[in-house]
């Protein structure tokens, strides 16, 4: 743990680091490949919408059923004439879902299931969900997601700038696409719990991205008043300075979610836990990845197209060629005197943590020393 802490401190101060921005085309390619796979899986397999979204009936059997899940599924499909989903719960009871049936059909299916499962019909609990209610829930979910994305873009454009808002929006769409694609490939049901999980991971992904953006905004203040670093290099330092923090928060968040997914859902057989935990697990991992490998490199790409940043890059490269330095192992914090090409009254550029001061004697009142 002490080694990890030392590594975090060295990353924060720029003593070590990995060039994420320089290798951004690799990360873009990986993300495009994963996204295409998710879209293909979504197009081929489609989403398995739950009863809440398409309407139908849910039958819950008594505890400690001796019938297997496969046999119960066969009984339900024969009784209803529709595809059925059967889940065995932790107490031994079964949750049988049949989509696209009405109240009269539900009563008949309940009686048939009771006869096939050899239990009293009164012991089977039946819940009916109308298709209009399910459609309303689906529409509200899409509206909530759309409003969330719009508010996020507006907030980031005001708090930071439109380039960061655009990059964060791309990262969020990236996370949503991957999570939805995984749902299609795995075949899990999409329930209201899934929607809750999606909104939760979007907030987490945004938080991780904003942390890096805040560091980047601080370090690039008055960036054009210096000739030591380009925007992309400072963006890379911002990623490295928050890297350990991002890894720690992601791991801490993934551990309990993994417990829900593999223990709660897998061992106990709780369906709702599966719906929420899978979206959280995939979304948290994708959100941490996108904030580091997608959002910030994309901001650097957009900023480097500005005339001011192009001019800065030319001046930085020209000065390095003149002095014979590479800029890869030098300290971030430097003063106007070290640049040698800024006016004396110009405010120093904030391009990283200030580990030393070189303005001794400046601003000292005139007069005799005592």
Q: Are residues 35 and 98 in the same domain?
A: no
- Whether the per-residue pLDDT at 338 is higher than 60: the answer is no
Q: Are residues 43 and 143 in the same domain?
A: yes
Taking only Cα atoms into account, the Rg of the chain, rounded to an integer number of angstroms, comes to 28
- State the total domains in the chain: 2
CATH of the domain at 242: 1.20.1640.10
3-class DSSP state of 298: helix
The per-residue pLDDT for range 182-235, each reduced to its tens digit, is: 888 887 778 777 877 887 877 877 888 888 888 888 888 888 888 888 898 899
* Residue 294 included in any domain: yes
State residue 64's pLDDT score: 74
Mean pLDDT, range 50-77, rounded to an integer: 81
* Residue 204 included in any domain: yes
State residue 53's pLDDT score: 75
Q: Are residues 102 and 153 in the same domain?
A: no
Contact 137, 192 (CB under 8 A): yes
Mean pLDDT, range 72-99, rounded to an integer: 80
Alpha-carbon gap, residue 370 to 360, rounded angstroms = 18
Q: Are residues 290 and 255 in the same domain?
A: yes
Q: What are residue 60's DSSP bridge partners?
A: 95, 125
Of 303, 318, 344, the position where a domain reaches its end is 303
Q: Are residues 150 and 65 in the same domain?
A: no
Which residues, 6+ apart, have CB-to-CB distance to 117 below 8 Å?
61, 65, 67, 72, 75, 124
H helix intervals, the chain: 2-12, 24-45, 51-54, 69-80, 103-117, 131-159, 162-186, 192-219, 231-241, 243-258, 271-290, 296-303, 307-323, 336-339
Residue 168, class by beta-carbon neighbours within 10 Å (0-12 exposed, 13-18 middle, 19+ buried)? Answer: buried
- Is the entire prediction scored with pTM above 0.85? no
Residues spanned by the domain of 97? 56-129
DSSP-derived pairing of the beta strands 189-190 and 48-49: parallel
Which has the closest alpha carbon to 205: 266, 156, 133, 158? Answer: 156
| DSSP-assigned letters across all residues of 227-275 | SS--HHHHHHHHHHHTHHHHHHHHHHHHHHHHIIIIIIITTS--HHHHH
3-class DSSP state of 341: coil
Q: Are residues 125 and 139 in the same domain?
A: no
The per-residue pLDDT for range 228-275, each reduced to its tens digit, is: 888 988 998 888 888 888 888 888 888 888 887 777 655 555 556 677
Alpha-carbon gap, residue 249 to 67, rounded angstroms = 43
Residue 81: CB atoms within 10 Å = 12
Q: Are residues 183 and 216 in the same domain?
A: yes
Backbone angles phi, psi at 128, to 5 degrees: -110, 130
Q: Are residues 198 and 211 in the same domain?
A: yes
* Residue 106 included in any domain: yes
Contact 297, 168 (CB under 8 A): no
Q: What is the residue-averaged pLDDT of the chain?
A: 77
Alpha-carbon gap, residue 97 to 140, rounded angstroms = 23
The per-residue pLDDT for range 278-328, each reduced to its tens digit, is: 888 888 888 889 988 999 999 999 999 989 888 988 998 888 888 866 654
CA dihedral 296, 297, 298, 300 (to 10 degrees): 90
* Residue 362 included in any domain: no
State residue 13's pLDDT score: 59
Q: Are residues 256 and 276 in the same domain?
A: yes
* Residue 64 included in any domain: yes
Give percent above pLDDT 70 in the chain. 77
């Amino acid at each position: 743990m002490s080694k990890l802490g030392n590594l975090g401190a060295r990353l924060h101060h720029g003593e070590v680091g990995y060039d994420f921005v320089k290798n951004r085309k690799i990360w873009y390619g990986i993300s495009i490949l994963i996204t295409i796979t998710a879209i293909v899986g979504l197009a081929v397999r489609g989403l398995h919408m739950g009863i809440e979204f398409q309407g139908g009936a849910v039958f819950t059997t008594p505890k400690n059923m001796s019938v297997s899940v496969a046999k119960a599924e066969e009984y339900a499909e024969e009784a209803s004439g529709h595809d059925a989903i059967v889940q065995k719960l932790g107490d031994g009871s079964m949750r049988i879902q049949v989509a696209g049936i009405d109240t009269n059909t539900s009563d008949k299916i309940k009686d048939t299931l009771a006869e096939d499962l050899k239990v009293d019909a009164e012991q089977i609990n039946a819940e009916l969900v109308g298709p209009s209610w399910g459609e309303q829930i689906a529409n509200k979910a899409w509206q909530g997601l759309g409003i969330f994305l719009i508010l996020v873009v507006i907030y980031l454009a005001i708090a930071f700038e439109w380039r960061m808002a655009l990059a964060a929006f791309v990262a969020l769409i990236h996370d949503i696409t991957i999570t939805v694609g995984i749902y299609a490939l795995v075949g899990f049901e999409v329930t209201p719990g899934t929607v809750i999980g999606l909104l939760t991971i979007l907030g987490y992904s945004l938080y991780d991205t904003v942390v890096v953006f805040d560091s980047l905004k601080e370090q690039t203040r008055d960036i054009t008043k210096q000739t030591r670093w380009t925007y992309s290099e400072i963006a890379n330092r911002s990623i490295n300075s928050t890297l350990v923090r991002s890894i720690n928060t992601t791991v801490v968040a993934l551990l309990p979610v993994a417990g829900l997914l593999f223990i709660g859902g897998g061992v106990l057989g709780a369906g709702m836990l599966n719906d929420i935990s899978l979206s959280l697990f995939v979304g948290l991992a994708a959100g941490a990845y996108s904030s580091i490998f997608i959002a910030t490199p994309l901001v650097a790409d957009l900023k480097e197209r500005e005339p001011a940043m192009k001019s800065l890059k030319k001046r930085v490269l020209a000065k390095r060629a003149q002095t014979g330095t590479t800029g890869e192992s030098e300290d971030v914090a430097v003063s106007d005197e070290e640049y040698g090409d800024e006016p004396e009254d110009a405010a120093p550029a904030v391009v990283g943590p200030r580990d030393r001061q070189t303005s001794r004697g400046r601003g000292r009142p005139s007069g005799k020393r005592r």
